[in-house]
Chain A
């Protein structure tokens, strides 16, 4: 484990790094544009930023999910329905990717990737639920309204294997909360359509939808009003509390049935997570990240909400608090009404457009709003200084896509998936890459896992790392 040779003298900068099993401690760049409240702020100059001995920087990965498929014409541009296999440099960027024009050289639009397990395969209707569940797992979800069964997702495998190097193993974010009543999707539990990130067969990773809470959890120890003194005493208190709850949980676990024991086990994974946080000094507090970047309480409209979540994620990458993330721009099957675009009808209902021109147009505009939001996130990563004078984007891999291709057809082959990755990741750009039809989308995830340094792991129906992306 490389240790910095110059220990920073500033106490607050020291607290930044904790004492946990961390592989690298990256200096905080001075010029950090924080968009939190529409104000541009800079981080204060800290000793930590002056360090020259930066160890080989890690890679980061984030998967961004968009629901209800996309307007394929605008996503693919002039592309043929079935283009020839191989890589082809962009002529003109497809219309939806116009906001990403400045990152054109870092962008690859992938064709031919699909998710066989999102098809019914005998399970009947429920494509939206399956689309989200399968996106990062490649495993067919069990059709049930009760106890779910799926598999650990790619991001969570990465979080388990390499996420331990940072204080937070992975960030799981989303713009929409789970549904609060009614039927979710044709007998599928709501957990499926609301989560692409799964810790295990039975546990979807808790998704944070409130940017301010996400910020506080990452940078303010979960409670922005605590003084440093109170935070310190809380660490000690939590240590003893942890031992206490462990004993309590063991006692209860001995009394319940084997089935219920699984619930207690889930509860105990939370105890281990707390233990991990405490090993990082329970710090969870980054004084270098200033209050000015703390998001407002109630974002209005999609763009503001998604921007704030993107800002928190960018800050987390920048401060190297985490390296793995998922961000859902909507739950699959989302019926959000994009009134800011003058669109009153719900997104999902629109996606069943039946060829209706005005509905297709509305779908295209919603997709455009999502793409612009994604582009602002990429811009932000590109503008922020990361390791060794490069941008944060330089060593970041971003997957942007949906588990449904065309909403009206609910199809899951040739999915809209794009890859945007900095030059430090070794991934190429500036082109469309067409794979054999029915190439599992999981192969892409396996390739990213490989680059992240995750050992070979089985992942759903994936066959192996996807070649041809370098």
Chain B
């Protein structure tokens, strides 16, 4: 019933402080590191309570908590004594609890129920007392918060398009691939980069949007009349027979080439400064031309070195890009020296070649031509077509099928009527893309308000949420059309639509974006130098490691595999190189054309995501494993139960005389004996120890101590047993649903979301829970399909 505490309570300590502060002023400044309490034994064996059996929550807290969490205790930053919480704390909770107090009690509940508290070495209440306390707190919490389904629907703050969504929108609305690299950075909140609350706009950001919109409009409409630009190749950059200080020389009838970059094919003015070593009875002659294009007439080049001249011609370049432009020497003349006379030699020198242009109009692009009523349409027809086309376009880009003609007047007013249609269109498209109607996803809903102060999204708003969730984009024309044909705000239609969208290749962006952020692998740099001659991980292999994880998640969705496979699945999707690294046979005949195949991992300790090299390397330090990082990753990513970071200064693993000969593991065990550190490390470290069978490069290594004991006493040896323990309870599924819901809603989860989360969770088949079912469960929920209005 409960759970999700990890996602709802991001900062348990701070919340507890808030809750206790309400009842009594804090004694100790929380920033002072608590003095170290009694050193525990690290043993999981229960130590008998010194007092008689505690009765009631007050007595329970007094007996098992207050020694540390009392006014004089080492953890007085979190006070649980009568002075702070009152003589009957649960009665106080029920009498009137704010959100902070409820969160604080949730946290207490989790600490006790999951046996994180009391820490090892402290008096242990035993199963019966623990269960009684947990039951009472849970009951009080339920009464205090009332029916979660009746709480007001949490607000979804106004969201703007992220960079990825913007790029995908251009693809889905205009069919262009356009890297919008200058857009505002997307801040990460609640683990994802599209959470509205975390996004802010700096005063610099509008200009960034404007730049992006103008560039996109040029791409979409095309540019007919480029501003003429000049590019030049100097003598040193011209390939001829010989390069000298005074120019590039041709000694025979050949072409001297300059390599220049021009925007497109079209008409250009080509100029070259030339002179010649004159000989014979006519001046030197030369032609100009683009490589692959027609040559100019031959020019006389009567100029000498001390007074070079410029020849020029308008020529057509066949194509844009890097092109060669040449000066061809056409009348070489040579008489070898005789006894009577020196050699007579006519040679041509080029000092530079310049290209200016384009000078002509490019043809109207297909999009612009259509919008302007066809190439060569008269002004009246073009204007009418433009207005009609813009209405259609604005309906899509602004996601507003009800938009009418006068709504685009302002877009047409951006330019003068007399301007060419492509210019008018470019300005209008830039206007469409820079309007907040495109950049923001405002939701107003429609219909009556319910008891949760919410109302139904409109059909188009639902489509917009679905597109953000499943395509990381905006609705494309087909989805908008569907939204106007059927009412997507109805559960059955929304679910059917979501199912179709999952089948579209664009949903791969969802799997990638959600998966990489959920598993904290986005931007992970896995390349490692080899140590002592052993091979490391090069960039290509690092990319393949990330790809394994991506493919496994994609497969999980597409093949409707059990979500539990992500925890203990005995196969993975890898290529031959990863198979070699993992020490398993790669069935080449089963591989797809791209060289990847699902491969059995039986006979190895690798199971689920915890066997992925991506995860194992990402959670290692260079050259050594880090049980702490690995344990922390499992808690954060797989169990959604992030431990707070260490108190500063308290985490001294200082090499002293007594400890310097200990292994890292032994040092950590000593460290955990410290009560201040134990609460978190007793959760993180054992998990990391269980994964010690994998080295820092993700390789299996033998003869390592991979034993660990969880706070609740469950012991294991090696990854397989660890994973079996993780598999025993349902926290992974709870965590998965919570992360997925956060992603889908684009906001942090709140207490009022619990019924929704429980609903999605309950919708999973216990025998075979799937990714797809979880996605559809979210989509089907009221929370996804309604919006808070007030």
Contact = CB atoms under 8 A, between A and B. Distances in A.
Interface in B174-208: 182, 184-185, 187-193, 195-208
B131 interface: no
Interface string A389-423: 00000000000000000001111000000000000
A223 B182 CA distance: 11
Nearest to A344: B622
A237 B427 contact: yes
Given A148-B200, A263-B440, A181 B11 contact: no
A204 B207 contact: no
9 contacts: A122-B14, A181-B522, A182-B188, A191-B198, A205-B204, A206-B204, A245-B436, A256-B158, A354-B655
Contact of A344 (B192, B521, B529, B790): B529
Interface string A31-59: 00000000000000000000000000000
Interface string A172-195: 100001111111111101110000
B381 interface: no
A252 B31 contact: no
Interface stretch (A268-276, A286-294, A374-382): A268-276
Q: Is the interface of A mostly helix, strand, loop or mixed?
A: loop
Interface in A320-348: 337, 344-346
Given A122-B26, A205-B202, A273-B203, 20 more contacts: A120-B29, A122-B14, A147-B197, A178-B188, A181-B193, A181-B517, A183-B636, A184-B188, A185-B645, A190-B187, A230-B227, A244-B410, A252-B442, A256-B158, A257-B155, A257-B789, A259-B157, A269-B201, A270-B205, A354-B652
Contacts of B520: 181-183
A241 B442 contact: no
B189 A264 contact: no
Given A260-B158, A270-B204, A255 B188 contact: no
Interface of A: 119-127, 143, 145-148, 172, 177-187, 189-191, 199, 202-207, 213, 222-223, 226-227, 229-230, 234, 237-238, 240-241, 244-245, 247-249, 252, 255-257, 259-260, 263-264, 266-267, 269-274, 277, 337, 344-346, 349, 352, 354-356, 408-411
Contacts, number: 251
Interface of B: 10-11, 13-14, 17, 21, 26, 29-31, 77, 155, 157-158, 160, 182, 184-185, 187-193, 195-211, 214-215, 227-229, 410-411, 413-415, 427, 430-431, 434-437, 439-440, 442, 444, 516-517, 520-523, 525, 529, 621-623, 636, 642, 644-649, 651-655, 747-748, 789-790
Contacts of A189: 187, 189, 198
Contact of A274 (B26, B207, B215): B207
Contacts of A264: 158, 436, 440
A244 B206 CA distance: 14
A249 B203 contact: no
A267 B438 CA distance: 13
B188 A180 contact: yes
B414 A145 contact: no
B187 A248 contact: no
A145 B189 contact: yes
B31 A238 contact: no
A247 B188 CA distance: 30
B191 A191 contact: no
Contacts of B789: 257
A259 B155 contact: yes
A267 B436 contact: yes
A227 B185 contact: no
Contact of A277 (B157, B185, B207): B207
B622 A337 contact: yes
Given A121-B31, A124-B14, A181-B188, A252 B648 contact: no
B359 to A, nearest CB: 13
Contacts of A222: 182, 207, 211
B645 A126 contact: yes
Given A143-B11, A248-B435, A354-B654, A122 B185 contact: no
Nearest to A121: B31
A238 B190 CA distance: 37
Nearest to A124: B13
Contact of B211 (A223, A227, A256, A271): A223
Contacts of B654: 354-356
B30 A124 contact: yes
Contacts of B652: 354
Contacts of B517: 180-182
A199 to B, nearest CB: 6
Given A120-B30, A274-B207, A409-B648, A187 B200 contact: no
Contacts of A247: 410
B634 to A, nearest CB: 14
B335 to A, nearest CB: 46
Contacts of B790: 257
A145 B434 CA distance: 28
A457 to B, nearest CB: 18
A362 B26 CA distance: 40
Contacts of A409: 648-649
A409 B651 CA distance: 10
B200 A145 contact: no
Contacts of B437: 248, 252
Given A120-B30, A247-B410, A143 B187 contact: no
Contacts of A256: 158, 442
Contacts of B184: 206
Contacts of B202: 199, 203-206, 266, 269-270
